[in-house]
Amino acid sequence: MRDEDWDIIFKVHMRGAYKVTHAAWKYMRDQNYGRIVMTSSPAGVYGNFGQTNYSAAKIGLLGFAKTLALEGSSKNIHVNTIAPVSASRMTENVLPPEVFDKLKPEAISSMVTYLCHESCEETGGLFELGGGWFSALRWQRTQGVFLGMDKASTPEAVRDNWSKINDFTDPVYPSTSGEGIQAVIAHPQSKL
């Protein structure tokens, strides 16, 4: 991939979203009301072969939206993200015509309309949708393993605890970045 290919995608998706949001934010803040919907992609959420630049920009929009949701919460500015599977110029030569025809953008507009409505209290959400199907996505974290901050925390200790590190039997559903550090601080063996 050439630098130009990376830069143009970030210019369109990340900088474009930033510029539009930046222009509107002051007005939303001053009127104590606003609704913003960022458009990510399943390629950003899950990755997609051959789309490193696009996937990175699209997941970046989720981080942008999550932070704006936190910053706007005291001013009644709600910010959510959709990750639609939708027919577009980008997918018209990839999807079979019978699938392409079922993924028209009109099939996602009801979610966007609701997220922008004054009665919608959702903020910081991520929604995957397409073809009349709607779902919410969230992060999960395992209970994890505390290996300590000393010599016990070795690559071998990570290897030996790999099954516990990856055990989603009793997951935690974090919603802020601070919850990870809180888990470390609260752990009985932590000396922080």
Gap between the Cα atoms of 61 and 66, Å rounded: 9
Q: What is the pLDDT of residues 42-68, one digit of tens each?
A: 989 999 888 899 999 999 999 999 999
Better pLDDT: 121 or 91? 121
The strand pair at 34-39 and 133-137 is best described as unpaired
What average pLDDT does range 28-48 have in this prediction?
94
pLDDT in tens, 107-151: 889 999 999 999 999 999 999 998 888 999 998 999 888 888 777
The mean pLDDT of 86-90, rounded to a whole number, is 72
**36 membership: H or E segment, kind and range:** strand 34-39
Please report the pLDDT score of residue 67 as a whole number.
Answer: 97
Provide the pLDDT for residue 132. 85
Note the pTM of the prediction, 2 decimals.
0.85
Structure tokens at 118: 């004054």
Kindly provide the b/e burial profile for residues 22-41, where b requires at least 16 CB atoms within 10 angstroms of the residue's own CB. Answer: eeebeebbeeeebbbbbbbb
Q: How far is CA 36 from CA 44, 51, 87, 140, in A?
A: 19, 26, 22, 25
Work out the average pLDDT over 167-175: 90
In the chain the domains, ranked by start, together with CATH numbers, are 3-137 (3.40.50.720), 139-192 (1.10.287.4290)
Q: What is the pLDDT of residue 107?
A: 82
| Confidence label for 99 from pLDDT (cuts 50, 70 and 90) | confident
Catalytically annotated residues: 54
> Quick check: 19 pLDDT over 90?
yes
Q: Which two tokens stand for residue 135?
A: 């779902």
**Helical (H) or strand (E) element with 82:** strand 77-84
Q: Which 8-state DSSP code applies to residue 115?
A: H
Going 100 to 101 to 104 to 107, the CA torsion angle's sign is negative
User: How many CA atoms, within 13 angstroms, populate the side-chain half-sphere of residue 52?
Assistant: 6
pLDDT at res. 179: 67
